[in-house]
Chain A
């Protein structure tokens, strides 16, 4: 019987082990190397499906207790072992509704991309090694919940990707490879700065956090230490809270003008001093107890960001910006998208498939997993920027795609446009006072974004594959020199029509539900953005239909190498058919994907909606009006201090009307 430790570790590292095995194979037996590599990707897929998706009664019980439970909102299959205790770095892997669909997508796209790699004939051994290392990096990013581990996996992908583009790419491969590398590295350096800031400001021994430690999946030893230290700090924290309340009251009085200016200034000064002393006292208790306990645990950082005052508004704002830039480069959104067309055009077909199918999703994953939950202040303050960037990417990408002459470049720009939906969907913070903190629409936007990521992983990887098939035959991608492929490659053209229509967002195909959800959710946020984003569908239809017309329809083929246009072979047909099958399946039954993410996303958006109500847009109650916005710590967050420790039940956040 398997344990989560073994299963998740195998899923992540099996490709790396495979790479090691391939390294010891003789380099002239190319077919064997390809078969072994394909076997490894199939094995990963089998582990993911067999271990995590097949119900226990069908699998014979070998995956007992491992099957992904769609009814559970929290992380499951948790692996949490100490790795580098001196920096509190853990080997922390787990799955939830956000990461699990992306892990499946990664395994799926890698399998098909490897199957599409038979056309690679140069340095096959090195190619396969790098390909497998890339797969380890990608899966690792999605399953690791320790920030350090996440960062390591995030960067591990860079090296294989550089070589895969730089060695096996097209004519401008070196330029494209280094551009990709440089952009991503710059983004990840910014990310590293944010990670370190969050790490050093975090402290899991905060009394405010005790009630939320359940959600953090800390290691038991760490949790015990945190709880003990929090209990020690509690008396000192009570003093801090009282001092803080006094300061707020003094400021209120000063504003109300009940006392003379000099008197209230004196009062404020005294209160400020008292607060500083109280904070210093608490810090002394913390240090005495062996604290502060910094953490790289992403779930703990989320709770800290939402429930404590450790990350000030400024810190959250800066960290959000730094992290968002890092992720936006990967998505990519304008204005940092320029690496993408170059990388796509120069990369070999299978690598383009991975790039579009998986790598871009990491940006979206980072935004939904890290940016918003850890730095809600930043997310709230910058929601118009995020949504604006999303819409601008959609429009710009669509127009740019219309203008392209190169088939692959057009598909690349369509990715920019489609990933704009993801950013928009994640950013529609509609759970505000005017909607009564109703998280429903935002929830819909996030789900739409997640669905769009999966759908785009299928349709765009499929499109790159289809472009590759025709490029392998005629060795050019000039849109104006195609035409008439329908007659020469009928089955291939049928597949292409289906997948291109899926990308277009035709109802009944996988591109539709995601876009629909996103546009619907934006309506509550801003009708203007909703209209703009809905209008992009027209542009999308424009460039897709025009491309289909120029390439597949028409009377005759106008370019060189006409005699090479042989019908697609069995391998190509199989890959294309699989893509089309899933494009139709998810278009007709979006629930197949949504069921996995529902609970987790519901919970996350609801928590953030409660946070908005409690911290950001605190209702005028008594004297605490709008303190949060002026940087004065909100009374709501201060209230439940240590109640859990004293056995007082935590006040349940009021369910906003119409949340269900």
Chain B
């Protein structure tokens, strides 16, 4: 292969065809991210000019986020199940590895990215109302937020361990700066420093794990890792040299450290409360929602990617070439060549095996490959279950003693990370046994992410508005607030009850969905004759934790509604009837009213889970 071929194949891979950008090209799939990039650049560029100083960056950031959501188009891609004909349409979203397999574009990416962009829109409006970035700071903050969002999008779509690392770093580095955005506040600087030191450590450990795994398996491309593992384990666990097995397990553990850091899973959560206390409530909202959603999506990508043989998808430009047979210059690029390029460029050793497996004729070989990956899945599921149990329990217990609302919500975030990891364990355990059930489990997680987005954003919005009103973030200072601003207190109470997971609030829908996936997983795994007790244990732990969490959420509600107002509270400058109040109601409405009709959400979540498992 000469250089010219290489370049022309790269062009085809990026644009879909040699002459134009097709709807099924890598670039088209990546368009929302490109929009975010353009927005970031625009904000930096406008600032260079004197006139630009007067431009309000809020509008640019808002327009950019809306445009990104528009191009992500969840309303187009998260519909009913596609027929084979519909899936063959170039604009349809099934599974497509883009940019030579570095990223993967499927309905799950569409769903989580859309959630991230929706969050970005709501977040930008929220910062405007809370006034934390003043005119001078706003380009910095919005640039960092959108930059981190870009990194999170990459986390959601990562298909290669190097991309995993890059994406995690790209999401983390702006977050470090965001944590310290209030210049001159000791606490903020401390938070930023702690965050970055922890982050750097975790990143290093993860990179080490990646190098171990990639070194043993000669690849870092996640679907190829699954194939190689399947090949290795095809003779049973005992056929693998024990040293190799140990290095693989160690690699997986080290990678999980990096993921656990992003998820703030116990015992890698220590940064979380300190950072949340030091950073502003706005930044907390961003970290606790967007960062967490992306980390969960990444967990799904890595855990499922390594434990499941990836379903066959299309290559960029393939469908366009089929539907436009006469289109120029598409004939020389058949699919396996694109794949060839990628594998040759990266790992010549496994190229033959991978190409053979990617070929559709190798379909019958998939089933035994799935079977031989069973030990990988079992290991992953138990590892995640273990993290979920301690994270959830510790988060809830530690939240009990907090007096600062931001610390309390930090521990609540940790606990929720634990809840959200539970369905992932069930999904990994179910894959290969009951694929439809596994897809429902992913859908459950997707539902949880959607409802959690509104609940946590709302909670931090209340904290920010109250901070502006009374310069305090101590729970004790909230005493008797119901007498001053009843509507806000009602909102906050609804959100907190939602976080407990009480019906009829939307938190219950999320909890119901993930508990359902656990029961489903337990039943399926037991029916297949494998030990599924740990899934039942997860369910019981989840249930008991729900009851434990009641105490501390309810304490905040109690302080606000039942307690008397303190005599020495800072003066309260706040009105329920304001833009801020309206925004709060806007955010609370989905939490309070979703129960009336949430089938559409469930269907979208089902659609999101469709292309993950064969």
Contact = CB atoms under 8 A, between A and B. Distances in A.
Interface of A: 83-87, 148, 151-152, 155-156, 158-159, 162-163, 166-167, 173-174, 178, 181-182, 185-186, 189-190, 192-193, 196-197, 199-201, 287
B508 interface: yes
Contacts of A158: 502
A155 B602 contact: no
B214 interface: no
Contacts, number: 80
A87 B595 CA distance: 13
B543 A152 contact: no
A200 B444 CA distance: 15
Given A86-B603, A163-B561, A156 B543 contact: no
B515 interface: yes
Tell me if B's interface is mostly helix, strand, loop or mixed: helix
B503 A190 contact: no
Nearest to B436: A287
B606 interface: yes
B519 A83 contact: no
Contact of B546 (A152, A178, A189): A189
Contacts of A163: 561
Contact of B562 (A83, A87, A155, A174): A174
Interface stretch (B9-17, B20-28, B95-103, B547-555): B547-555
Interface of B: 436, 497, 502-504, 508, 512, 515-516, 518-520, 523, 539-540, 543-544, 546-547, 550-551, 554, 558, 561-562, 595, 597-599, 602-603, 606
Given A151-B503, A193-B539, A186 B547 contact: yes
Contacts of A152: 503-504, 508, 595
Nearest to B545: A189
B547 A182 contact: yes
Given A155-B502, A185-B550, A200-B523, A192 B599 contact: no
A196 B497 contact: no
B504 A193 contact: no
A416 to B, nearest CB: 23
Given A84-B602, A86-B599, A152-B595, A166 B504 contact: no
A283 B422 CA distance: 27
Given A155-B504, A159-B497, A196-B519, A185 B602 contact: no
A171 B497 CA distance: 25
B559 to A, nearest CB: 10
Tell me if A's interface is mostly helix, strand, loop or mixed: helix
B562 A167 contact: yes
Contacts of A162: 554
Given A86-B606, A190-B543, A166 B515 contact: no
Name the 3 nearest CB pairs between A and B, nearest first: A189-B543, A196-B519, A86-B602
A167 B561 contact: yes
B508 A155 contact: yes
22 contacts: A83-B599, A86-B599, A87-B516, A87-B602, A151-B503, A152-B595, A155-B503, A155-B504, A156-B504, A159-B502, A166-B561, A166-B562, A178-B550, A178-B558, A185-B546, A185-B550, A186-B547, A190-B543, A192-B512, A196-B515, A200-B519, A200-B520
Contacts of A159: 497, 502
B606 A156 contact: no
A248 B539 CA distance: 35
Nearest to B605: A86
Contacts of A182: 547, 550-551
Contacts of B508: 152, 155
Contact of B523 (A87, A155, A166, A201): A201
Contact of B554 (A84, A86, A178): A178
Given A155-B503, A155-B504, A197-B519, A181 B562 contact: no
A84 B497 CA distance: 22
Contacts of A86: 599, 602-603, 606
Given A85-B599, A86-B606, A193 B562 contact: no
Nearest to A315: B523
B498 to A, nearest CB: 11
A85 B512 CA distance: 15
